């Protein structure tokens, strides 16, 4: 979905919904990992958590940023803007830069969503550690997280009605954290043996409707649509949560079989690299192919997407995989 909107923003304006699905999925996964560690060891090691995140995210990102800085210094105009963008991406602050200043020409502006992720990683483990120390009931914990998501929803609507721009609200962590918290909420509920079967049963009935809703948003809705800022983003997060719940259900289903197909698994394995590399490649390669080799627009886009997948595969093999082995060793040590 994200590749679609970056490849053809005119005809695929709803591709941004892929980011929202990812936010919910990320909240679910990170919360599940932390809860599993606490259940197995009776504590959460913040040092190991942050080390694992660094080993997963830093190597490929800094490889991209290093190349970007070199190319910007050698061959790009507006060098200061590119260096500012690279610094913002390296500091995981791109979302706030986009919220308040224009860097439309930057090839790494897409890292705003990664910035929101990292800000979430910085806050949520501390929040969960504090909550689990005081709140023993998983039901109460899930209600607190859901309450936090609702507060973000109301906060975003309040800012919108007071004249804040869609650009500010779309990129601000404070106005997008509801999707992450909804993902966290379902992880807590599913960790509760008493209520998990009910949630799975509900998801088995509702997921086709939820998936259809996500597809409808993909096909029809631009990211600046008013309804998104007065509850729409939260509704999309709930739909994504329903689909994710069905995916992790213990009962086999067609959706699980689809996601288990080898090509889908292979794409998932290199998806972080695809995320990092597709935007700068799509931003520059088609233009070069069309202007110098006189290749048609559609073919140039297809070549650029293929290049992004190829570069992502190389990134996984030579940059990410060695650090992932260290991350897995840390994960085993924490269990």
Per-residue pLDDT tens digits for 187-201: 999 987 788 899 999
Average pLDDT of the residues in 255-271 = 94
Using the predicted structure, report yes or no on whether residue 32 has a pLDDT greater than 70. Answer: yes
Number of structural domains the chain divides into: 1
Distance of CA 194 to the CA centre of its chain: 30
Per-residue model confidence (pLDDT) at position 38: 85
Cα 106 from Cα 81, distance rounded (Å): 7
Helix axes 17-41, 46-75, angle to 10 degrees: 150
The residue segments making up the domain with residue 49 are 12-251
Query: Residue 8's pLDDT is what?
Result: 87
Residue 261 sits at φ, ψ, to 5 deg, of -65, 140
Residue 302 lies in a domain: no
Phi/psi class of residue 294: alpha, beta or left (left: φ > 0; alpha: ψ in -120 to 50)? Answer: left
Give which of 137, 188, 214, 250 is closest to 31, Cα–Cα. Answer: 188
Flag whether 301 is in a domain.
no
Helix 79-90 to helix 46-75 angle (10° resolution) is: 170
Q: Is residue 314, in this structure, part of any structural domain at all? A: no
**Residues contacting 100, CB < 8 A, separation 6+:** 168
Burial of residue 178, with CB atoms counted within 10 A of its CB: 0-12 exposed, 13-18 middle, 19 or more buried: buried
Residue 256 lies in a domain: no
Does residue 16 form part of some domain? yes
Task: Please check whether residue 203 lies inside any domain of the structure.
Answer: yes
**CA–CA gap between residue 321 and residue 5 (Å, rounded):** 28
At 212-254, the pLDDT tens digits run: 999 999 999 999 999 999 999 999 999 999 999 999 999 888 8
Report residue 82 as tokens. Answer: 């590119």
User: Percent of the chain at pLDDT above 70?
Assistant: 99
Instruction: Determine the longest span between alpha carbons in the chain, in angstroms.
Output: 65
Query: Which pLDDT band, with edges at 50, 70 and 90, does 39 fall under?
Result: confident
Residue 23 lies in a domain: yes
pLDDT at 332: 66
Among residues 181, 224, 261, 209, which one has the least CA distance to residue 5?
A: 224
User: What are 112-148's pLDDT values in tens digits?
Assistant: 999 999 999 999 999 988 887 787 788 899 999 999 9
Alpha-helical segments (H) within 221-296: 232-247, 254-259, 262-269, 271-292
- Name the band, by pLDDT with cuts 50, 70 and 90, for residue 335: low
| Average pLDDT of the residues in 100-118 | 90
Contact 27, 181 (CB under 8 A): yes
Q: Which residues are CB-contacts of 309 (< 8 A; sequence separation ≥ 6)?
A: 267, 270, 274
Pair 180, 118: CB distance under 8 Å: no
pLDDT at 59 over 60: yes
> Token pair for residue 227?
């309804």
pLDDT in the model for residue 42: 79
243 or 43: which carries more pLDDT confidence?
243
- Sign of the CA dihedral running 62, 68, 71, 77: negative
Of the candidates 91, 96, 225, 111, the residue with the CA atom closest to the CA atom of residue 173: 96
Residue 42 lies in a domain: yes
Least trusted range by pLDDT, from 78-87, 129-138, 268-277, 305-314? 129-138
Distance CA 243, CA 238 (A): 9
Phi, psi angles (nearest 5°) of residue 252: -60, 145
pLDDT in the model for residue 102: 73
DSSP state of 229: G
Predicted pLDDT of residue 118: 96
Mean pLDDT over 198-211 rounds to 94
pLDDT, position 333: 62
pTM here?
0.93
- Number of C-beta neighbours around residue 290 at 10 A: 15
Give the mean pLDDT of the chain: 92
**Confidence at residue 193, expressed as pLDDT on a 0 to 100 scale:** 76
Label residue 72 by pLDDT band (50, 70, 90).
very high
pLDDT at 87: 96
């Amino acid at each position: 979905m994200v590749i679609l909107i970056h490849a053809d923003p005119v005809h695929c304006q709803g591709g941004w919904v892929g980011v929202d699905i990812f936010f919910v999925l990320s909240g679910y996964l990170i919360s599940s990992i932390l809860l599993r560690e606490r259940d197995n060891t009776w504590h959460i090691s913040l040092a190991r958590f942050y080390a694992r995140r660094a080993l997963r995210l830093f190597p490929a990102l800094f490889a991209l940023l290093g190349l970007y800085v070199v190319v910007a210094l050698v061959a790009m105009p507006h060098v200061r803007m590119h260096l500012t963008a690279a610094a913002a991406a390296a500091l995981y602050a791109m979302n706030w830069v986009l919220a308040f200043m224009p860097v439309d020409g930057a090839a790494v502006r897409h890292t705003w969503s990664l910035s929101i992720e990292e800000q979430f990683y910085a806050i949520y483990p501390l929040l969960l550690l504090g909550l689990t120390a005081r709140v023993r009931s998983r039901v109460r914990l899930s209600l607190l997280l859901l309450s936090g998501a609702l507060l973000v929803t109301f906060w975003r609507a309040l800012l919108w009605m007071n004249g804040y721009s869609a650009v500010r609200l779309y990129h601000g962590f404070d106005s997008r954290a509801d999707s992450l918290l909804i993902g966290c909420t379902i992880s807590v509920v599913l960790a509760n043996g008493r209520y998990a079967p009910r949630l799975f049963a509900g998801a088995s009935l509702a997921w086709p409707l939820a998936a259809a809703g996500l597809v409808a948003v993909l096909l029809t809705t631009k990211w600046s649509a008013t309804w998104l800022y007065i509850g729409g983003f939260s509704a999309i997060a709930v739909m994504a949560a329903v689909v994710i719940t069905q995916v992790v259900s213990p009962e086999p289903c067609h959706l699980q079989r689809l996601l288990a197909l080898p090509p889908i698994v292979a794409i998932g394995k290199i998806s972080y690299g695809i995320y990092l590399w597709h935007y700068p490649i799509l931003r520059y390669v088609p233009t070069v192919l069309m202007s110098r080799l006189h290749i048609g627009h559609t073919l140039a886009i297809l070549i650029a997407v293929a290049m992004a997948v190829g570069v992502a595969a190389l990134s996984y093999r030579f940059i990410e995989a060695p650090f992932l082995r260290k991350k897995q060793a840390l994960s085993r040590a924490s269990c």
